[in-house]
Amino acid sequence: MPTEGKGSAGNKSASSSGVRKGRFRTGMDSGFAAFNASISFDKRLFAQDIAGSIAHVKMLGMQRIISAADAREIEKGLREVLAAIEKGGTAFREDLEDVHINIEEALRERIGDVGGKLHTARSRNDQVALDLRLYVRDKSDMVVTDLIRLMGVLTDKAEAIRHIIMPGYTHLQRAQPVRLAHHLMAYFQMFRRDWERFQDARKRADEMPLGSAALAGTTFPIKREIVASLLGFSSVSGNSMDAVSDRDFAVEFIFDASMVMMHLSRLAEELIVWSSSEFGFCTLPDEFCSGSSIMPQKKNPDACELIRGKTGRVYGDLLALLTTLKGLPLAYNKDLQEDKEPLFDAVDTIHGCLAIMAAMFPGIGFHAERMLEAASDRAMAATDVADRLVREGLPFREAHARVGAVMRNKMMGGDANRDDNSLPTPEEMVEARKHTGGTALSSVIDQIKSARSFLSQNTPPDEVDSGKKGRKKKI
C-alpha cells in the first residue's frame, strides 16, 4: 500500500490506458491502481461488452459517423478478440482497470488506431450500464430455467408419492393430516411466484441505455433504436442521467433471488427436520450428505444446511447494493463499481443452490409408514369432530369449546390416542377436503395436472439456453 504524503508519489502505475493521457501529468499510484481496478471481477462481462460494442459500431457505420469500412474492420476485430478470450488466449491486465479498456486495448493491438474509433459517441458510463443490463437479462433467463427444472422435479416427486399421508403442522405442532404431495405442491406455488417475479423484473432490465454517454447524451447523430434492435431490447432509456445511474434492475434481481433463497431455505429446513431421527420421515441421498470426523454413525444433511446458510449471503448482497445506492447524487459515481460483486455473488449462489436442490430431490426416500403413524395421532381429528357437531346444528364456537374440553380431559387422562371408532381415519380426513386447493387425492391430482400444464406451456431449458425464443438477436 502507498505511504502517506509525498513518499507515495514515486510509486506510480505504468498504465498504458488512454483514459489518463492528456489530463494527467503522472501515472496512477500503484496502490491506488490496484484499489481502483475492477478487472478481477468485471471480466466476466466480456461477452456482453463485446456484444454491445459490435452493435454500437454497426450503428456508427450505418449512421456514417465512421466509415463503413472502419466499422467492418472493428467488428471483425471484436469477433477475433471474443474468440481469443473464449479460447483462453487473452490475458486481462490489471493496469487497464476494467473489462472495457482491456477489450478496447486488445482490439487496438489487432487492428491498430482504427480501433480507437469504437468509443465514438459513448462513455464507459453508458457502456457499463448496457453490459450490466445484458448480463441481468441473460441471468434472469438462466434462473427462470433453473426454476422450471426444480418445479418439474417437485411435480414428478409429488405424483410418485401422492398416496402418502403425513401430519400437517402449524407452530411445528401436529395439526391435521395432509397428503405429502399436497405439501410438496405448496413449494411448487412458491417457486412459480418466483418464476413470475423474474419474468416481470426482466422487463425492467430490458431497456437499452447506450447513447446516454457520460450523462448528457452525445452530439453525434446516433440512432439508439438500431442498437436496441440488434441487442433485442424492447425499448431505449428515456433519460440519459437516469440511464447511467440506474441500478434498480440489479437490486430487483437480487431481491427476487433473495425470495428464491428464502423458499429454498424453508424447503431445506423441512428436509433437515424430516430426516432427523426424531421425525424419521425421509432419508436424504448419500451423495448430498457428509459424515462426522469423530462419530462414525453420523449422516449429516450438508447440502440442505448449506442452502439454508447461503440464504443469508444473498440477503447480504441485497443490503450491500441498496446501501451503495442510497446516497448517490446523479449521475454516475465510482461507488457504482460496487454493484457488480453483490450481483455476481447472488447469481452464482442462487444458480448453485437451485441446481443442488433439483439434483438431490429425486433421490429423497420418503417413509410412508412412519408418516402415516404420525398422522394417526387421534388428537388430529379434533377439527373434523367439531365440523361434525356443526353439521348436527351446533354453532361452531360451541362445538370448538366442547371438543376442546374433551381433548383436554383425554390428555390429562393420558389416553388422547385411545382407539375410538367414532373418529375419522387420516385417509377420511384428507379425502373430506375435496375443494380446489384441498388435500383430497382428486384435488392434489388437479394441482399436479395444473403444474404439468404450466410446465408444458413454458420454454424448455434447451430453447432458453440457445436463445430460440427470439429474445435476443445474434449480432
Active site residues: 171, 292
Q: Which of the 8 DSSP states describes residue 3?
A: P
31's grid cell: 496502490
DSSP string computed for 242-277 = HHHH--HHHHHHHHHHHHHHHHHHHHHHHHHHHTST
Between CA 215 and CA 222, with CA 221 as vertex, the angle to 5 degrees is: 65
- The three three-digit cell numbers of residue 184, written as one number: 410438496
**Quick one: CA dihedral 64, 68, 72, 73, positive or negative?**
negative
> What whole-number distance in Å separates Cα of residue 175 and Cα of residue 159?
24
**Grid coordinates representing 458?**
413454458
DSSP conformational letter for 472: S
CA 2, CA 344: separation in Å to the nearest integer?
29
SS3 417: coil
Could you give the C-alpha distances from 32 to 8, 9, 92, 95, 328, in angstroms and in order?
10, 11, 18, 11, 22
d(CA 30, CA 46): 25
Contact 248, 326 (CB under 8 A): no
Nearest-5° angle of CA 71, CA 234, CA 116? Answer: 20
Nearest residue to 442 via CA among 205, 264, 179, 189 = 179
420 phi, psi to nearest 5 deg: -145, 105
Q: Are 102 and 92 in contact (CB under 8 A)?
A: yes
Q: Residue 283: beta bridge partners?
A: 365
Q: How far apart are CA 454 and CA 189, in angstroms?
A: 11
Q: Give me the amino acid identity at 422.
A: S
Strands 207-208 and 235-236, by their bridges, are: parallel
CA distance linking residue 211 with residue 222, whole number of Å: 7
Cell numbers representing residue 475 in the block: 449480432
**Are the beta carbons of 467 and 474 closer than 8 angstroms?**
yes
Instruction: Tell me whether residue 419 is exposed, middle or buried, using C-beta atoms within 10 angstroms of its C-beta: 0 to 12, 13 to 18, 19 or more.
Output: exposed
For the packed helices 340-360 and 124-160, what is the interaxial angle rounded to 10 degrees? 20
Cβ count near 356 (within 10 Å): 18
